[in-house]
A = this chain, B = another copy of it.
Amino acid sequence: MASADRKQRIKDETRQNILDAAMRIGRAEGWQALSMRKIADIIEYTPPVIYEYFANKEALMLELTKVGYRILAKDMKIARDKHQLPEKQLEDMWLTYWNFAFAEKELYQLMFGIEVNCCVWDNSVPEAEIPANMIWEVIGELTGMENPPEDLICKRYYTFWSVVHGLISINLVRQGVPEGMNEEVLKDAITGIIRSIKP
């Protein structure tokens, strides 16, 4: 039947509507406020329908984290392509990461939060590796070496990530961090690590 296409199309549409609804609730009220029934209300179906598109709530949220990683990857690509020098690229990429975290507070917490469900985080989210790989590459370039040793890049990567993610976490929880402190600490740390990498 030719109507099979149409049916598939509206099924895809409904699936997307579910994701959109969930994202809207999460962004507006936080993930603790997200419920299957609220999603059902928005898409104008009854709750069980959602289970025809997602195995359960956790699977649904995992899908949302993938959306998050795609946005982050896109942002970071733009940041990278604005510069030629690896050190400038790296700086801008981490700044972009930082900005993403606050522009998409809830989404960031879903992706990197401690408590939230998606804790297994094996390789079930391949999207998560795109931003990571982008950073890796640029760190590699920055060393100036032909074949930079894996574990050196790895170490620098984790150092970067720790500072940035740590600073973000602290800010997301504690909203009393002195004004201007963040930018300074962030930039200091980034340039500091970059300096330690450059040949």
- Chain A interface (Cβ < 8 Å from any Cβ of B): 31-32, 109, 112-116, 119, 121-122, 151, 154-155, 158-159, 161-167, 169-170, 172-174, 176-178, 181-182, 184-185, 188-189, 192, 196
Q: Which residues of B contact A167 (CB under 8 A)?
A: 158, 162, 166
Q: Give chain A's interface secondary structure class.
A: helix
B residues within 8 A CB of A151? 178, 181
Q: Which residues of B contact A158 (CB under 8 A)?
A: 167, 170, 177, 181-182, 185
Closest Cβ neighbor of A184 among chain B residues: B155
Query: Closest approach, in angstroms, between the C-beta of A155 and any C-beta of chain B?
Result: 6
A169/B165 in contact, CB under 8 A: yes
Looking at the complex, which one of B114, B164, B182 makes contact with A173 (CB distance below 8 Å)? B114
Q: How far is the CB of A31 from chain B (nearest CB, A)?
A: 7
Interface hub of A115, A116, A178, A196 (most chain B Cβ within 10 A) = A115
Min CB distance, A121 to chain B, in Å?
Answer: 6
Give A106 Cβ to nearest chain B Cβ, in Å.
10
A122: B residues at CB distance < 8 A:
176
Residues of B within 8 A of A154 (CB): 178, 181
Looking at A113, A122, A158, A188, the one whose CB has the most chain B CB atoms below 10 A away is A158
A196–B170 alpha-carbon span in the complex (Å) = 22
29 contacts between A and B (CB under 8 A): A32-B115, A109-B115, A112-B173, A113-B113, A114-B115, A114-B169, A114-B172, A151-B178, A154-B178, A155-B185, A155-B188, A158-B170, A158-B182, A158-B185, A159-B163, A159-B185, A159-B188, A159-B189, A161-B166, A161-B170, A162-B163, A162-B164, A162-B185, A163-B163, A163-B166, A163-B189, A165-B166, A166-B166, A169-B169
Taking the closest CB of chain B, its distance from the CB of A197, in whole angstroms, is 12
Which chain B residues border A159 with CB–CB below 8 Å? 163, 185, 188-189
